[in-house]
């Protein structure tokens, strides 16, 4: 039976303007970093995209190297688009990135014009798209001039291959320089994608203020700290945890007793708010309107449903915010 999106998919989602642009993003967006690669069940990924769209999630975030193997998340997403969403492309905001190693040799990594333009061409081919909505440089390149990298981003917009451009993993000073270059080129920075959560607050040290001042948005990745800010670790490390898997960004050593004490205290506060820990963590990321969207990952449909329900309570009292800070600093 052909997929038919829910008729009420826009009724409960919150959409936030991305900086000073005309583009709005859902407060919760779906990232395809994990669980959509060639080694993952295709039908599960398909069900995740369908349910996300039914709940009003219109923004889907990818990168050239997502998988594994690299490129397979884009291939699978392209197949899902073809099977289920061919008539809904204009209702979706699709992003991809380039900046990490993708193919052998000197032209398949970092931030040269050659690599970025070639990578975007390959990404569009894998996804079966004529353009992407947002194209990011995934990380700064210490050996390529920032002018060359930003000119490449400007170039793909002028070619019609991307509507907007973004940065990820750029520090405050690098972002400030990139913003100036892009502004001079006539392709303003739309958005920055920093890692940001209760456990990783570096973006508060000047980045979010800079983005607001410059009229750019921010989308927080790993807002649940790779699952630490969920109920999975309340009683220790489960056997099927990501922390126990090889090549994971979350290591078993990250789940220390000190961290678990903080997680349990935060969970108590969440319960008093009528939320799960994950829901409170997402609401906290979105609390001061400096973050346009929280970028979640999911392996199960009910995780998406739980996360979207965070939008039912986005308000925090001063007392709650103080207690959260105390729990994090204990």
User: β-pairing, 93-98 with 59-61?
Assistant: parallel
C-alpha span between 52 and 57 (Å, rounded): 5
Six token digits for residue 326: 């105390």
pLDDT range class, residue 239, cuts 50, 70, 90: low
* Statement: residue 243 has pLDDT above 60: no
Query: Which H helix or E strand runs over 328?
Result: helix 318-329
| Residue partners of 123: CB distance under 8 A and separation at least 6 | 62, 64, 74, 96, 98, 132
C-alpha span between 238 and 67 (Å, rounded): 24
Six token digits for residue 274: 């009528």
The dihedral sign for the CA sequence 124, 97, 28, 209: negative
Q: What is the pLDDT of residues 33-90, one digit of tens each?
A: 999 999 999 999 999 999 999 999 999 999 999 999 999 999 999 999 999 999 999 9
Q: What is the pLDDT of residues 177-214, one digit of tens each?
A: 999 999 999 999 999 999 999 999 999 999 999 999 99
pLDDT recorded at residue 255: 80
C-alpha span between 207 and 130 (Å, rounded): 32
| Residue partners of 178: CB distance under 8 A and separation at least 6 | 146, 149, 150, 167, 170, 189
Give the DSSP letter of residue 11.
Answer: S
pLDDT recorded at residue 151: 98
What is the SS3 assignment for 16? strand
Contact between residue 141 and residue 112 where contact means Cβ atoms under 8 Å apart: yes
Six token digits for residue 14: 């919150």
pLDDT recorded at residue 249: 57
pLDDT recorded at residue 225: 96
Question: Domain spans of the chain?
Answer: 15-225+284-312
Looking at domain 15-225+284-312, which CATH architecture does it have? Alpha-Beta Barrel (3.20)
């Amino acid at each position: 039976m052909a997929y038919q999106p829910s008729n009420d998919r826009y009724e409960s989602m919150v959409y936030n303007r991305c900086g000073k642009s005309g583009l709005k993003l859902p407060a919760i967006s779906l990232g395809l970093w994990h669980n959509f690669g060639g080694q993952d069940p295709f039908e599960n990924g398909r069900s995740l995209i369908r349910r996300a769209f039914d709940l009003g999630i219109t923004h889907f975030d990818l990168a050239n190297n997502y998988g594994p193997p690299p490129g397979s998340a884009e291939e699978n997403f392209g197949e899902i688009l073809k099977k289920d969403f061919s008539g809904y492309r204009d209702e979706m905001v699709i992003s991809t990135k380039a900046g990490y190693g993708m193919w052998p040799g000197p032209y398949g990594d970092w931030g040269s014009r050659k690599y970025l333009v070639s990578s975007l061409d390959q990404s569009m081919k894998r996804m079966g798209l004529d353009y992407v909505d947002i194209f990011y440089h995934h990380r700064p390149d210490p050996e390529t001039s920032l002018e060359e990298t930003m000119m490449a981003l400007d170039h793909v917009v002028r070619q019609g291959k991307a509507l907007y451009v973004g940065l990820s993993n750029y520090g405050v000073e690098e972002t400030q320089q990139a913003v100036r270059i892009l502004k001079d080129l006539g392709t303003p920075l739309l958005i920055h994608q920093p890692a940001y959560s209760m456990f990783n607050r570096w973006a508060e040290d000047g980045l979010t203020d800079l983005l607001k001042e410059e009229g750019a948005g921010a989308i927080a990745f790993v807002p649940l700290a790779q699952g630490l800010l969920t109920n999975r670790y309340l009683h220790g490390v489960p056997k099927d945890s990501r922390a126990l898997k090889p090549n994971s960004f979350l290591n078993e050593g990250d789940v220390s007793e000190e961290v678990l004490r903080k997680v349990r205290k935060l969970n108590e506060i969440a319960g008093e708010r009528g939320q799960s820990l994950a829901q409170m963590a997402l609401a906290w990321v979105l609390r001061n309107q400096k973050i346009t969207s929280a970028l979640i990952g999911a392996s199960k449909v009910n995780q998406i449903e739980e996360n979207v329900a965070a939008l039912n309570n986005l308000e925090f009292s001063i007392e709650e915010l103080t207690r959260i800070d105390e729990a994090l600093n204990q």
